[in-house]
Amino acid sequence: MDKPVDAEVIIIGSGVMGGLIATRLAKAGKSVIIVEAGPRVKRQEIVERFRNSPFKMSLTNMKLQGVGSPYPDLPHVPSTYGDYIQHVGPVKYATRYLRVVGGTTWHFGSALWRMVPNDFRLHSLYGRGRDWPFGYEELEPWYGEAEAELGVSGVNGQDESGHGGGAWPPRSRPFPMPGLPPSYLFTRLSAMLGKGGYHPVLEPNGRATRPWKKRPACAGNNNCNPVCPIAAKYDGSMHIDEALEQGARLLDNSVVVSIEADDRGKITGIRYKKPDGSEHQLTAHHFVLAAYGIESPKLLLNSTSPRYPGGIANGSDQVGRNLMGHTGISMNLMMKEDVWPGQGPTELLVYLNNRDGDFRRDFPSYKIKVRNTVPTADYAASLIQQGVLGSALDKALHRLSARSLNFAIDFETLPLAENRVLPSRTKTDALGIPLPEIYYSVTDYWHAGKTQGLKDFERFAQLLNADVLKIDTQYQDRQHIMGTTIMGDDPANSVVNRHCQSHDHPNLFIAGTSVMPSASCMNPTLTGAALSLRLADYLLNTVRV
């Protein structure tokens, strides 16, 4: 007879992936405990902290966000905007994620893209990276489910390949909500860049365009990052709330320090610490690790024992390896006419002419996006420091706010074994848990993409009749963490199988973007959500938790 357990399923992590799975399982009547390292946060408190801060963080000043992040920085869950992440590689992987209930979707830009079919066959088609163990057609219905769960708005019939053709990729159902209308900026840029063969694509996103469940329609506040003040934008706390309404339990401020397994490979329990340092244990029949792409592998690697000296789920030595992101570059332009960025969401218009094609043998796919932000406070501080005051300051602010634009490129990266996450051997947090240490690099393949991207930047400036103020090629991070618990059919070179189930421990499952074998050049949240819903279905209908 099985020993009594605390829950049928324990889910580690309360972001969008953990929330989706918890909701599906709780609705099916399963007993679920969600364990979250960080605290509950209240939207009004985050908004007020942001409003009162002299420094206004946004998508255009990511490097400075440690100065003014409105989210908690607590001893037991140090902020990733500080020096929590240790960088040891030639390229700094300066990612930022939130350790709070609801996770990083609190401050994400809300882009919710599907991958295209060829993204699943990168190695077979182009000789690069890895193939997925299944194709787009397997995930397609789950993309539709994820769009419905997250309340995605988008343009039906749009060619998201970037080639200006028919609807792509294939979809079996329309978007839940129509897309946001383009602003004057987006309309004007589309007309000017279209003369050069650049096809505008409006981004599918998690902002409501009409009342959706408990969310109001987007009011265009233009600070999706760091927080939507009215909850029109989706965030993972919404599914956590739904799971709790269905009977799930949430343990916040509970930092999991180890996962325990018996000699037969069965996961038997987890140990976690509270902020006061006290240690506790929980048991379950099944476990889902959904702590995102840095904390998940760190926890697995930190869970060592005489039976598992390399950590849990690490028989392949692939845990923590194959770290991918969308390492990018950007360009600042000054237009010669007023186009008024800053109306509506922080991002919506993108260009995808190099999203897919035979060129991927030689350089990576990439996305060019318009950052629809106006960092007026930054402009003012810089001008005042230069001695610009009075009416001259007002005139200069008007010009900068109306004409200054930022374009950014997100490049696809490949799963490289040397790019990895490890628990630090020398530095720990307040609870004595090792900090995450990251080695990251880029190859000639990425640099070939940069060369192509710079050509596009030059062409953009010409078509827009704009002056180039600055081009930054210093390996900008886009906060899209992938690959560190990689999926595959072969236990020798992957961490989980096609069902996101550990090869080594049949009652351990890993959810989220960390299982993705390829990165494409698109934001990975929707793909992670689709995989999580597919996993929930597998748990209920095949594993029969």
18 exposed, middle or buried (CB, 10 Å; 0-12, 13-18, 19+)? buried
DSSP code string of 404-441 = EEEEEEEE-----TTSEEEEEEEEE-TTSPEEEEEE--
Query: d(Cα 98, Cα 289) in Å, to the nearest integer?
Result: 16
Helix or strand (DSSP H, E) at 538:
helix 525-538
Q: Which has the closest alpha carbon to 301: 481, 496, 433, 480? A: 433
Kind of pairing between the strands at 7-12 and 249-251: unpaired
The position carrying tokens 């897309």 is 179
Identify whether the C-beta of residue 113 lies closer than 8 Å to the C-beta of residue 526.
Answer: yes
Phi, psi of 514 (to 5 degrees): -70, -15
CA distance 237 to 96: 18
CB atoms within 10 A of CB 184: 13
Active-site choice (239, 480, 503, 505): 480
Q: How far apart are CA 9 and CA 399, in angstroms?
A: 56
Count of all residues that appear for the chain in the document? 545
Only one residue has tokens 């860049």, namely 193
Nearest-angstrom CA–CA distance, 509 and 313: 10
Helix 525-538 and helix 136-150, axial crossing angle in degrees, nearest 10: 100
Q: In the annotation, is 480 catalytic?
A: yes
The sign of the dihedral angle between the CA atoms of 445, 450, 455, 460 is: positive
- Which of these, 142, 136, 132, 171, lies nearest to 154 by C-alpha position? 171
Strand partners, 329: 409
Task: Please give the Cα distance from 57 to 217 (Å, whole number).
Answer: 23
Q: How many CB atoms within 10 Å of residue 335?
A: 20
The backbone region for 151, taken as left when phi is positive above 0, alpha when psi lies in -120 to 50, beta otherwise, is left
Helix or strand or coil: residue 53? Answer: coil
**Phi/psi-derived region of residue 24, left when phi > 0, alpha when psi is between -120 and 50, beta in every other case:** alpha
Collapsed DSSP state (helix, strand, coil) of residue 371: strand
Contact between residue 378 and residue 61 where contact means Cβ atoms under 8 Å apart: yes
Sort residue 117 into left (φ over 0), alpha (ψ -120 to 50) or beta.
alpha
Please give the structure tokens belonging to residue 90. 């030639």
**Degrees (nearest 5) of the Cα angle 485, 487, 490?**
115
| C-alpha distance from residue 461 to each of 53, 56, 59, 72, 472 (Å) | 34, 28, 21, 40, 15
Catalytic residue annotation: 480
